[in-house]
């Protein structure tokens, strides 16, 4: 490797101001896309239309960036917009023509991602299609997700280990008489890598194991929290619901069907690395080719997962940069509706985790002052400590 190549490789983490700028640019776009989708979560809104609102905003906004760059900069959707309702947990992003709509009191999970030059910002948010404060078990499950996310933010820091986070968020969920959904992973992200090798297991169980890992400065993580009033054992109910895929770059196979070869060629051209939705392909016949691509492991599917019908599920996801001066949460700051949970967190260890600062106090002068202010702002949203979240009820 030449000196220039080595320098370029070194600068692809948060030690480069340009990299930080791109992460924050992607975050700003996905945060605004989320805001637009949340504002349209009303009774009778079609789910496919909401997904298109999110994806279209990200495509159009990123399309206007870096037009005069010396080299082509890839940018756009890093993860297709998903709208998962009630006991549906994740990855529901239906094709055109799907008639699924929102109804009053539906619990809506929104999940989406944006990237600029492969630097990815993802976000997940939960809202309920109703006016006024949320009460009962719906408030409990959302407060559990919010509190678990706040605790995770404070424990995903250099020197801490992934298992510390796993144990803590399960403890938080239990405080609300809820569970963390099994099989959900929080991933380290790198340039063009949405699911890096360093992961945080949400719920420990005998069937799922991950390697022990320690968080380090200049890393980026997508923290993914799913809480449920059910048993947390998620199920695939219908393979036909799956519409999101990602190219498995390490796999090769000579496809037999013409439709498979056509769509695989289009995938390699348009979506060589990032996840995509079948909705992106206008030719319905071409979609038939996805089956052969999946069967031969050329594509990795993101299945639509479900809890048992009647169980309530909440999802919160945010992107955090582990900067030298502390953690910088760049997505996931959209206000929740007012929560009035039935449970009050009394656990002193949970309270101690929530009291931890976000910013490092190693820096002197203005940096330290700014860090304290950031801590105060973040701590002001930690409603779940006393069981009542008084945050803004606005949905827009």
Do 159 and 26 lie in one domain? The reply is yes
Do 259 and 331 lie in one domain? The reply is no
CATH number at residue 36: 3.90.230.10
Question: What pTM did the predictor assign?
Answer: 0.88
Q: 10 Å Cβ neighbour count for 134?
A: 25
The residues, ordered by sequence, that sit 6+ positions from 16 with a Cβ below 8 Å of its Cβ are: none
Query: Rounded CA gap, 314 and 178, in Å?
Result: 10
Please give the pLDDT value at position 56: 98
Average pLDDT over the chain, rounded to whole?
89
Which residue from 276, 279, 310, 316 is spatially nearest to 88, judged by alpha carbons?
Answer: 310
Do 145 and 204 lie in one domain? The reply is yes
If DSSP codes are grouped into helix, strand and coil, which group holds residue 241? helix
Please give the pLDDT value at position 322: 98
Please give the pLDDT value at position 11: 54
Do 11 and 68 lie in one domain? The reply is yes
Do 273 and 379 lie in one domain? The reply is no
Please give the pLDDT value at position 391: 33
Residues of the chain with pLDDT under 50: 1, 4-9, 363-396
The residues, ordered by sequence, that sit 6+ positions from 317 with a Cβ below 8 Å of its Cβ are: 111, 122, 123, 124, 125, 222, 223, 224, 225, 331, 332
Pair 34, 112: CB distance under 8 Å: yes
If DSSP codes are grouped into helix, strand and coil, which group holds residue 223? strand
Do 84 and 155 lie in one domain? The reply is yes
Query: Rounded CA gap, 147 and 386, in Å?
Result: 11
Please give the pLDDT value at position 368: 41
What stretch of H or E contains 366? helix 366-379
Please give the pLDDT value at position 396: 34
Query: Rounded CA gap, 63 and 381, in Å?
Result: 34
Residue 24 domain boundaries: 3-239+305-364+374-386
CATH number at residue 280: 1.10.10.10
């Amino acid at each position: 490797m030449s000196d220039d190549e080595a320098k370029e490789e070194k600068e692809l983490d948060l030690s480069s101001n340009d990299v930080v700028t791109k992460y924050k640019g992607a975050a700003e776009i996905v945060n605004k896309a989320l805001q637009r989708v949340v504002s349209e979560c009303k009774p009778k809104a079609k789910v496919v239309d909401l997904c298109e609102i999110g994806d279209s905003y990200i495509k159009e906004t990123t399309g206007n960036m870096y037009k005069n760059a010396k080299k082509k900069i890839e940018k756009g959707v890093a993860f297709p917009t998903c709208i998962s309702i009630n006991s549906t947990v994740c990855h529901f992003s239906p094709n055109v023509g799907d008639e699924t709509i929102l109804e009053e009191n539906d619990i809506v999970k929104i999940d989406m991602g944006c990237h600029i030059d492969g630097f990815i910002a993802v976000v997940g948010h939960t809202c309920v299609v109703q006016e006024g404060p949320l009460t009962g078990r719906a408030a409990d499950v959302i407060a559990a997700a919010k509190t678990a996310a706040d605790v995770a933010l404070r424990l995903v820091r250099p020197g801490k280990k992934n298992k510390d986070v796993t144990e803590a968020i399960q403890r938080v969920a239990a405080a609300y008489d809820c569970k963390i959904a099994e099989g959900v992973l929080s991933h380290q992200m790198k340039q063009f890598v949405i699911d890096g090798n360093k992961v945080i297991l949400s719920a420990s169980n005998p069937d799922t194991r991950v390697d022990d890992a320690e968080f380090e400065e200049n890393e980026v993580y997508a923290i993914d929290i799913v809480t449920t009033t059910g048993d947390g054992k998620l199920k695939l109910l219908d393979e036909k619901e799956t519409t999101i895929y990602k190219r498995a770059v390490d796999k090769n196979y000579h496809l037999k069907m013409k439709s498979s070869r056509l769509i695989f060629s289009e995938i390699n051209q348009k979506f060589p690395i990032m996840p995509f939705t079948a909705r992106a392909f206008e030719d319905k016949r071409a979609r038939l080719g996805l089956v052969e691509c999946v069967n031969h492991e050329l594509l990795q599917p993101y299945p639509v997962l479900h809890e048992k019908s009647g169980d309530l599920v909440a999802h919160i996801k945010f992107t955090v940069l582990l900067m030298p001066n502390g953690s910088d949460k760049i997505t996931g700051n959209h206000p929740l509706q007012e929560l009035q949970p039935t449970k009050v967190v009394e656990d002193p260890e949970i309270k101690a985790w929530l009291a931890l600062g976000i910013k490092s106090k190693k820096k002197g002068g203005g940096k330290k002052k700014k860090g304290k202010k950031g801590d105060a702002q973040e701590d002001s949203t930690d409603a779940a400590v006393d069981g009542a979240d008084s945050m803004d009820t606005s949905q827009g």
